[in-house]
Structure 1
Amino acid sequence: MAHIILASSSPRRKELLKQLGLVFETFSPDVDESVLVGESVEIYVERLARLKAETVLQSYPDAIVIAADTSLSFDGQIIGKPESKQHAFDIWRQLSGQWHDVFSGVCVATTTERRSIVVQTQVQMMQLSPIEMEKYWATGEPVGKAGAYAIQGIAGQFIPQIRGSYSNVVGLPLYETAQLLESVKASS
């Protein structure tokens, strides 16, 4: 059986990958996640997923590595994790009452095979009041989350609808990840 490594320290990605019934280890690579000048969100998340996979393969050359990166896009702007309370509030004011896109780049790689995909999901956020923002920030949940929210947690109440993959919004599109994994296994 192939040795599988999830290139992430995200508890959400770990829980999602467990849903596929896989036995795997986790190893979080240290990579520069800076956005390059003029880089679109689609290129950005795929580049980071590939970079994470390639970095882990250097330490585990016999493994199958699953790597992902998730970011939001609104009006063509990449929205990452909040750097402060003020930044989170700025993000919520932008997204409030609007649709935005969540993109995940997923890469499944071995030393001889690399397959990647970008998955897009549209998410609608309700109009948030300043009081709702304060209460949500106080929970601590928005810290470290792309878009300053976690759909699988308290913020689920702020999301009236999505179009596309729910697991993508959480951080790892399961259907596409399973398809890439099978494709890489078949060619190995």
Structure 2
Amino acid sequence: MQKLLLASHSPRRKELMERLRVPFEVMGSDIEEKIDHSQSPDEIVQSLAFQKASSIAKQYPECYTIGADTIVVYENQILGKPKDEQHAFQMLHSLSGKKHKVLTGVSIHYLEKHVNFYEETEVTFWELSKEEISSYIQSKEPFDKAGAYGIQGFGSLFVKEIKGDYFNVVGLPIASVYRQLKNLHFPF
């Protein structure tokens, strides 16, 4: 059986990969992410996924290696992970009552081949009170998540509507990953 590697430390991505029902190993990439700000958000997120996957694939070219990166985009601005409580508050306050996009870029490498793609999901938040935002920040959930929220956790209470792949918002569009692996002849 061909070896499958996940170039990510994310417990959420690991959990989603388990849906493939095939053995895989977590080989988290610790690269210093390089962002070209002249690129569009979809190009940036695919580039980051490529950087992560290629750093591991170089060491294990005979394995299928998956890298991924997720960003939140609001008014053409990328909202990464918050630096502190005030930054998290600003992000969540800006998303309150509004639509934003969640993009996950994926890069899959095998031998000399690689495929890059991204999924985009539109998320609409309910209007949030300052108290709701502050309470959520106190849970500490926002701090390792793009856009300062986790849809799979307490952040789900803020979501009014979603258009697109839910798992993309969690951090990995697993159905698309499955199909791309099939296209690359991964032996399921």
Q: Is TM more than 0.5 here? A: yes
Structure 2 CA distance for aligned equivalents of residues 33 and 78 of structure 1: 15
**1:149 Cα deviation after fit:** 0.3
**1:34 Cα deviation after fit:** 4.2
**Residue 86 of structure 2: SS of its match in structure 1?**
helix
* 1:111 aligned partner: 111
* 1:163 aligned partner: 163
* 1:55 aligned partner: 55
Structure 1 CA distance for aligned equivalents of residues 53 and 183 of structure 2: 16
Is the CA contact 2:6–2:24 (under 8 Å) kept in the aligned structure 1? yes
Map 1:136-155 onto structure 2 (within 5 A): 136-155=136-155
Structure 1 CA distance for aligned equivalents of residues 155 and 186 of structure 2: 39
What residue identity is the alignment partner of 2:162? I
What residue identity is the alignment partner of 1:130? K
* 1:110-145 C-alpha deviation (Å, 9 max, x unpaired): 121101111000001111111111110111111110
* 2:128 aligned partner: 128
Structure 2 CA distance for aligned equivalents of residues 141 and 119 of structure 1: 24
Is the CA contact 2:34–2:48 (under 8 Å) kept in the aligned structure 1? no
* 2:74 aligned partner: 74
Unpaired segments ≥5 residues, structure 2: none
* 1:11 aligned partner: 11
* 1:39 aligned partner: 39
After the TM superposition, which segments of 4 or more aligned residues of structure 1 sit over 4 Å from their partners? none
**Residue 12 of structure 2: SS of its match in structure 1?**
helix
**1:33 Cα deviation after fit:** 2.3
Percent identical residues: 38
Is the CA contact 1:40–1:78 (under 8 Å) kept in the aligned structure 2? no
* 1:24-44 C-alpha deviation (Å, 9 max, x unpaired): 000111222243232221011
Is the CA contact 1:109–1:184 (under 8 Å) kept in the aligned structure 2? no
Is the CA contact 1:149–1:155 (under 8 Å) kept in the aligned structure 2? yes
What residue identity is the alignment partner of 1:169? V
RMSD of aligned residue pairs (Cα, Å): 1.3
What residue identity is the alignment partner of 2:48? L
Is the CA contact 1:72–1:101 (under 8 Å) kept in the aligned structure 2? yes
**Pair 135,186 (structure 1): closer, same or farther in 2 beyond 3 Å:** closer
Report the TM-score, using the length of structure 2 for normalisation.
Answer: 0.96
**1:165 Cα deviation after fit:** 0.1
Is the CA contact 1:41–1:72 (under 8 Å) kept in the aligned structure 2? no
Structure 1 CA distance for aligned equivalents of residues 94 and 39 of structure 2: 21
Is the CA contact 1:81–1:144 (under 8 Å) kept in the aligned structure 2? yes
**1:186 Cα deviation after fit:** 5.9
What residue identity is the alignment partner of 2:137? W
What residue identity is the alignment partner of 2:136? Y
Structure 1 CA distance for aligned equivalents of residues 14 and 85 of structure 2: 27
What residue identity is the alignment partner of 1:142? P
